[in-house]
Structure 1
């Protein structure tokens, strides 16, 4: 069967491309010459399947879409507290190129506006890094997110640097407040080269999918940044990524996103999908008119709004049985399924705590063979349940061949005290030898 998703994306491109209002970024000569008729969209799943429609191979400069990824690199290099000391996380409510600084400290309000992005660029790498070394770290980092080697469009770089008067003024003001160190002109130069890195809409979708996948690149399997960094980046994207249109974007589209003045739009929905869209003509906020339109269509059609969360985890417990083993021992077998987070783990704890036949049991078997993943909170909750069951005098068996209850395990770990009771489950792959009570 041919997947219908490419046909659907083609329909989105055709429906959203019928008219083409707005204007290219004429304050950058090279971008002013962009072909205004180009339009493309791409989806990337978190396991690396990519679907495209339109001009998916057309290259364009990444511009401000580089901001969340360079912010991620700064966080990875120095930690959240150190970066927060230099740049905040509050929406500015102003255009991206305004000098939006915190009263008193002079910190830029967030890393998605130019003042914050210049600061984030200056923070990448060690404090002793040269302009060239810092940019090399940026280029390698963005390439890791994309899963391929990216390059700079030198003509865009030259064109943009020749008109970077406002960014130069912002950088000098940041230096006067000691928000950035070193030569402001070199920071502007490095940041402008960062914005001139060339991508395709396919790259944008895969980079977004890396964020949606908790920092693991879907195609290469490389962990680019930690989950903690991803959470910080997506949070700031959600509130600040679309500048002074962030509130409207979040209420209508509802996907952490970032736009750029070359016409790209990137969206990352945690645990689900990465989105890239491209069309050069911009609205008054500096975002692609048709790119925003396509993202809104995808969100509406596919239920991607982040506030449209999954149904409550009512089915976390697949089966809950009482069985008698070959040795005459009576055990309770609680089989779980799906992705375990707080709500699902709470259901399991509630079920185990409400057992009326505990005094007639010899043990409890927690079957995790159909559980895909267990987050940190659910892991702590389940481990505490196991501890309390043992304190109640019960023997505990954990059937966990994929080690989902040990998030740091990569191979099957040895049994821990009381976790694997062979007398209850001599064959951990099956309960065929057990008799239903």
Structure 2
């Protein structure tokens, strides 16, 4: 059987076709693109890809690079250093507005050009600032899962008209937000925006954020969870510039647009979405891309506030095996182990106490154990042990490494329930 999702995406493209909007003609190379291109791609957190339309068409990433470079700056410099240079407040202004704090000169957020120029400068090493662009290109390639190139023609074209960015960079240098040469920062930033991508590449990048910083295809941890949380928070509040409030209330997906016509969205734990159509609205965002996101949000209940009010239980199955002194209660867990569903596991054990001499907690079907889930599971095991119950942890993938439950107690760890008691 063939998946119905590609057919559905094609239906969305057909329904959202719209000839309104204009090309980004202030960049000569972008004024020459085919205005009728339209593509839509989805990548699940597990790495499955669905696409429709011109999904193999190559275009430049432009401002969609901003959240990823911001994440790189956070990883390299740390939260305190980056937040000391770039605030996280929505500006309510256009992407190229000169939005700086009155006294400090700090950009209001990393999604406007002032903040993006600062993030680019933060990525650069003090002794070799020109190497930042190669590090950024390598990052974007790792996120996409393939090598990406810089479109030098677009970069050269953009440099011809980037006077406003040069002015912003000089102001930032004047406030000592960065100490690099403003012209070098602008040149590097323009090349950052000129990396070539497809919608499939962008959906894979967004999917990496959706899966907590792990690239869905390669399994490489590119961003830490705290960095992903910060990046997605800023995308939700600032990613769509002066339309951010309307976008969040009506579509409800953390997103970022680019003036080449690209648009990405991220549903944490679910999927990454990318659209491409080069005709832009008054905010510099793809007209057809916005329409496609509106349709997806409505049809697929993707609005952040449409999330289930009660998390699904992580306790997939509870079953007793054996009799007498060999009896074992199996608690089979699944999914992401976070606070709400771990509380449900604890509540189930409290409400219906374990009466067998042994209990086996099976993590085979668990995808991720978040820190709060780890603490609660270990405390559950410790209390079962205090009650005189032998605890076995079935953990074939090492989802709960170094299971120190406190007071010197560690549950016995096996790869499957049939392993002998001496297995560690």
* Structure-2-length-normalised TM-score: 0.91
Aligned to 2:304, the other structure's residue is in SS state: coil
* Separation in structure 2 between the aligned mates of residue 283 and residue 313 of structure 1, nearest angstrom: 38
Aligned to 2:316, the other structure's residue is in SS state: strand
Shift of 1:351: 2.4
* CA 154–420 in structure 1, closer or farther in 2 if over 3 Å, else same: closer
Which of 413, 418, 422 is 1:427 aligned to? 418
* Separation in structure 2 between the aligned mates of residue 118 and residue 319 of structure 1, nearest angstrom: 51
* Separation in structure 1 between the aligned mates of residue 4 and residue 124 of structure 2, nearest angstrom: 44
On the 8 A contact 1:395/1:418 being kept in 2, the answer is no
Aligned to 2:396: 401
Deviations 1:169-216 (CA, angstroms, capped at 9, x unpaired): 111111111001121111111111111111111211111111112222
CA-atom RMSD, angstroms?
2.3
Aligned to 1:305: 303
Aligned to 2:401, the other structure's residue is in SS state: coil
On the 8 A contact 1:216/1:224 being kept in 2, the answer is yes
User: Equivalent residues in 2 for 1:69-218 (5 A)?
Assistant: 69-131=68-130, 133-218=131-216
On the 8 A contact 2:90/2:238 being kept in 1, the answer is yes
Aligned to 2:376: 381
On the 8 A contact 1:214/1:227 being kept in 2, the answer is yes
On the 8 A contact 2:395/2:413 being kept in 1, the answer is no
Deviations 1:308-365 (CA, angstroms, capped at 9, x unpaired): 223624543334455553x535554433333321111111212223446x6x653433
On the 8 A contact 1:374/1:407 being kept in 2, the answer is no
* Separation in structure 2 between the aligned mates of residue 271 and residue 318 of structure 1, nearest angstrom: 19
Shift of 1:28: 1.4
Shift of 1:370: 3.8
* Separation in structure 2 between the aligned mates of residue 129 and residue 418 of structure 1, nearest angstrom: 48
* Separation in structure 2 between the aligned mates of residue 304 and residue 51 of structure 1, nearest angstrom: 16
Q: Whose Rg is larger?
A: 1
Which of 266, 269, 272 is 1:268 aligned to? 266
On the 8 A contact 1:397/1:418 being kept in 2, the answer is no
On the 8 A contact 1:152/1:193 being kept in 2, the answer is yes
Q: Is the aligned partner of 1:350 residue 2:350?
A: no
On the 8 A contact 1:314/1:347 being kept in 2, the answer is no
Stretches of structure 1 that go unaligned for 5 or more consecutive residues are 409-415, 430-437
* Structure-1-length-normalised TM-score: 0.89
Shift of 1:93: 0.6
Aligned to 1:163, the other structure's residue is in SS state: coil
User: Equivalent residues in 2 for 1:26-41 (5 A)?
Assistant: 26-41=25-40
* CA 298–330 in structure 1, closer or farther in 2 if over 3 Å, else same: same
